[in-house]
Amino acid sequence: MIEKKVSPKGKSVRVTFALPAEAAHEKVAIVGDFNDWNPKKDSMKLDKKKGIWKTSISLKPGREYQFRYFVDDHEWRNDEEADAYVGNPYFGENSVLHL
């Protein structure tokens, strides 16, 4: 799930990323060009009551961002609700957000 919320002055967009709890056993990180593809920068937290891994990031509007989920330190996943997909140099695809 991806939820986008524009700030009152329109200077940023709060993007909330979520995956079902069963998507990972130990941890999930959201990685993309907004954090230099670093899985240590934006870890997702497990909300056991809601049954989801979740995190929110503020990004600048008017841009396109590529991202993926890094699951349990070994598996890359895309988001089914991404605005688009683009090929990456590793013979796969990245999810894309249009803000």
Superfamily covering domain 2-98: Immunoglobulins (2.60.40.10)
For residues 85 and 94, is the Cβ–Cβ distance under 8 A? yes
Q: Where are the domains of the chain?
A: 2-98
Would you state the pLDDT for residue 60? 96
**Residue 16, beta-bridge partner list:** 3, 56
Would you state the pLDDT for residue 29? 97
Would you state the pLDDT for residue 65? 98
Q: What is the pLDDT of residues 74-95, one digit of tens each?
A: 999 999 999 999 999 988 999 9
Instruction: Write out residues in the chain with pLDDT < 70, as ranges.
Output: none
**Among 81, 61, 24, 79, CA closest to 93:** 79
Q: What is the pTM of this model?
A: 0.92
| d(C-alpha 3, C-alpha 5), whole Å | 7
